[in-house]
Structure 1
Amino acid sequence: MNKLLSIALIAVLLAGCVSSKDTPSAGPTPNQPPATEQPAEQPSDSAQPEAPQPDDSTQPTDDQNKKDETYQNDIFQVASVEKTGEDTFTIKGKARVFEGNFQYVVEDGHNELAKGSVQSSAGAPEWGDFQFTVKVKKDHPNSTLTLVLFESSPKDGSRKMELPIALP
């Protein structure tokens, strides 16, 4: 008798679940916007990435050594990375780091080729300006150099808030 009662109870529950899925919704749920709002948002989102494209085509192409991209995170805002010589790069920007001091490493994907520290004009919470030059030669001509800016943890010296930048 208990088995029969259990089976009947399960059948009623399943029937209730199936019938509720077949009925159409009267409207959007409180957490879900109406269907008419979503198509209006999608074209505007897709239009935003198209706006910078004409600006990119109007950039001067005669200075191939300069990158006009801005690299940033919570503590770094790199305004420019410029190749000033065969193996020399100048980096300019702002940093918001403890006592205005941060470190950098230049890597080729396998090895650290150069490293050092930089002092900005102000310490956190202010943004301090910085400019420094790195001279680094590639070990392999086809490798890509990456500059990594970071703040060292006062506790254990580990890297905090790394900002990788591809060197031109």
Structure 2
Amino acid sequence: MRKYRQFVIGLLVGGALMFAMPSMAAVVKQYALTEVGYPIEVNGTSYVNSQLPILNYQSNTYIPLRAVGNLLGANVNWNSVLKRVEIRNGEEQSAQNNAFRNVRASGTAGHYTVTGEGRVFEATMNYAVEDGHDYLLEKSYALDEGAPAWSEFTLNISIPHKQLPINGTLTLELFEYSAKDGTRINTLSVPLETFLP
């Protein structure tokens, strides 16, 4: 009787393992990435970075996105509001929406100049800078004219060095407050700078 019980238990355990193993194999997907030995050159400039190497997977070459963007002269930024990577090159149009247009940002290391045109209620536009987690500043700016006219603006933004992120993107948000209920409307997000550790 004891041998019969052990046989049945062994049969059940073996059957369970037989059906579980293919299921577990389907869940665990592995990638065999190998570091490549050949150089990557873009417009005459070689990519070299021992901390972020070039990798190969199934005869496809993988290189860090920001590195390629830098070699091509494009800006690669993480848009924390929309949760996506955005790549912009010099030929791309400036940022705009119904209340803000021709918005361009320049600068580095916490000092930025943002220019553009605004068309907002009672000529009061607002802006804030966030690092993906916290707002570092929020201010208002008085335009020369209110909507429906477009007015030019120039914002000089300074973020203290100790507030700059170690890893993340500083993003400017242009917006206005609704006269109806006080909520933010016509928000336009503009990447200022991305920081890497």
The verdict on a shared fold, with TM-score over 0.5 as the criterion, is yes
Question: Does 2:170 correspond to 1:145?
Answer: yes
Secondary structure (helix, strand or coil) at the match of 1:121 reads coil
2:155 aligned with 1:166 = no
Q: Do the aligned partners of residues 165 and 117 (structure 1) sit closer, same or farther apart at CA in structure 2, a change above 3 Å counting?
A: same
Look up the match of 1:98.
121
For the residues of structure 1 that align with 2:139 and 2:170, how far apart are their CA atoms? 16
One-letter code aligned to 2:184 = R
> RMSD of the alignment, in Å?
2.7
How much does 1:78 deviate? 3.4
Contact conserved, 2:110 with 2:164, CA < 8 A, in 1?
Answer: no
**1:99-144: CA deviations, max 9, x gaps?**
2111111111110011101112211001011111111144431111
1:26 equivalent in structure 2: none
Shift in Å at residue 165 of structure 1?
A: 0.6
Tell me which of 110, 116, 124 is aligned to 2:133. 110
Question: Per the alignment, in what secondary structure is the counterpart of residue 99 of structure 1?
Answer: helix
Counterparts in 2 of 1:71-86, with a 5 A limit?
71-83=95-107, 86=109
Give the C-alpha shift of residue 69 in structure 1: 4.7
Displaced runs of 4+ in structure 1, greater than 4 A? 57-60
Aligned equivalent of 1:156, options 173, 178, 181: 181
Structure showing the higher helix proportion among its residues: 1
Q: Per-residue deviation at 1:59?
A: 7.5
Deviations 1:6-48 (A, max 9, x none): xxxxxxxxxxxxxxxxxxxxxxxxxxxxxxxxxxxxxxxxxxx
Cα distance in 1, alignment partners of residues 171 and 92 from structure 2? 16
Unmatched 5+ stretches in structure 2: 1-70, 75-90
Alignment of 1:113-132 (within 5 A): 113-132=136-155
1:70 aligns with 2:70: no
Q: Quote how far apart the aligned CAs of 1:58 are.
A: 9.7
C-alpha contact (below 8 Å) 1:68/1:80 kept by paired residues: no
Within 2, Cα distance between the matches of 1:152 and 1:105? 12
**CA–CA distance in structure 2, aligned partners of residues 101 and 155 of structure 1:** 15
Contact 1:122–1:129 (CA under 8 A) maintained in structure 2? no
Inter-partner Cα distance in structure 2 for 1:163 and 1:140: 21
Identical residues among aligned pairs (%): 36
TM-score, normalization: structure 1? Answer: 0.56
Counterparts in 2 of 1:69 and 1:141: CA distance versus 1, 3 Å: farther
Structure whose CA Rg is larger: 1
